[in-house]
């Protein structure tokens, strides 16, 4: 399936007012000249959602955690204590270290990490994952679609992590493993100011996206009374 076909299916399923998802992928050359983003790089996502791609690397990302979770930098010695003792996101620094180790970040490749709205690409060939900024009603449709052909308990997973790790790190690792999980994210209080108050992220790794597109039109997103009511509400907002 190419992006144009998917967009047509997506619009039919969710309506014209549902925001288009964002593709992210690594490359050796940037697709945009992006200025340094101090703090959380999700500050740059509004531009992407409005049609302006961004290309990230160690120089563009101003946050040490952001560099780590995108594979552009090592874990600085302050991060475990900062996440545990200052942010209070994990009980102990050792818990933070164990989490980071589980992400296998050393396997990430590419000089730049690009984010671009789906209607601005011609192929899914290089994609690591597809990022949706989703309201509760949209999440209902996305999760039901993910559960349609996958009976695993972790078909839709909500895993601890920063905004960048729940979007990028988990999806890249899953894609490299040819895994079939999808991920809810953006629960991290540090990233919440840079996304909508009624939005979370839903990420489909490229490895899972291939199978989900094959069954999309068979799912409840098409020609069911229950979803039609939800779709109408999405498009009234």
CA distances to 92, 122, 162, 166, 208 from 174, rounded to whole Å, are: 26, 23, 17, 11, 9
Cα separation of 146 and 216, whole Å? 9
Task: Kindly indicate the confidence band of residue 103, based on its pLDDT and cuts at 50, 70 and 90.
Answer: confident
Task: Kindly indicate the confidence band of residue 74, based on its pLDDT and cuts at 50, 70 and 90.
Answer: confident
Beta bridge partners of 203: 131, 183
pLDDT tens digits, one per residue of 187-197: 999 999 999 99
First to last CA, the chain: 30
Residue 223: other Cβ atoms inside 10 A: 9
Residue 76: other Cβ atoms inside 10 A: 12
The two structure tokens encoding residue 78:
């302050």
pLDDT tens digits, one per residue of 4-57: 999 999 999 999 999 999 999 999 999 999 999 999 999 999 999 999 999 999
Residue 168: half-sphere exposure toward Cβ, Cα within 13 Å: 27
Instruction: For the chain, give the percent of residues with pLDDT over 90.
Output: 89
Task: List the Cα angle 63/66/68 in 5-degree steps.
Answer: 115
Cα 10–chain centre separation: 17
Length of the chain in residues, anyone?
A: 237
- Segment 136-153 mean pLDDT: 97
The pLDDT of residue 237 is 73
pLDDT tens digits, one per residue of 221-231: 999 999 999 99
**Residue 71 has what DSSP assignment?**
T
User: Is the confidence at residue 183, as pLDDT, over 90?
Assistant: yes
Task: Kindly indicate the confidence band of residue 215, based on its pLDDT and cuts at 50, 70 and 90.
Answer: very high
Cα separation of 145 and 218, whole Å? 9
The pLDDT of residue 51 is 96
Task: List the Cα angle 34/123/45 in 5-degree steps.
Answer: 30
Rg for the chain (alpha carbons), in Å? 17
Cα 79–chain centre separation: 22
The whole-model pTM stands at 0.95
The pLDDT of residue 77 is 84
**Residue 51 has what DSSP assignment?**
T
Cα separation of 15 and 3, whole Å? 16
Cα separation of 72 and 28, whole Å? 13
């Amino acid at each position: 399936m190419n992006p144009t076909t998917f967009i047509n299916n997506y619009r039919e399923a969710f309506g014209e007012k549902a925001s288009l998802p964002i593709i992210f992928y690594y490359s050796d050359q940037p697709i945009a000249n992006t200025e340094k983003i101090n703090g959380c790089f999700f500050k740059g996502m509004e531009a992407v959602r409005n049609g302006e791609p961004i290309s990230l690397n160690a120089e563009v990302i101003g946050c040490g955690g952001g560099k780590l979770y995108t594979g552009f930098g090592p874990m600085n010695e302050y991060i475990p204590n900062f996440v545990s003792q200052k942010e209070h996101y994990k009980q102990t620094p050792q818990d933070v270290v164990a989490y980071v180790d589980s992400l296998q970040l050393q396997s990430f490749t590419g000089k730049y990490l690009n984010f671009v709205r789906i209607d601005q690409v011609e192929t899914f060939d290089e994609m690591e994952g597809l990022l949706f900024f989703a309201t509760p009603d949209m999440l209902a449709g996305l999760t039901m679609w993910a559960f349609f052909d996958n009976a695993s308990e972790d078909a839709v997973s909500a895993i601890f992590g920063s905004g960048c790790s729940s979007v990028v790190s988990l999806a890249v690792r899953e894609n490299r493993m040819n895994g079939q999980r999808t991920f809810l994210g953006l629960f991290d209080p540090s990233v919440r100011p840079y996304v909508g108050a009624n939005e979370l992220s839903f990420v489909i790794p490229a490895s899972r996206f291939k199978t989900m597109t094959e069954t999309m039109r068979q799912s409840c997103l098409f020609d069911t009374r229950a979803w039609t009511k939800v779709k109408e509400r999405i498009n009234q907002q």
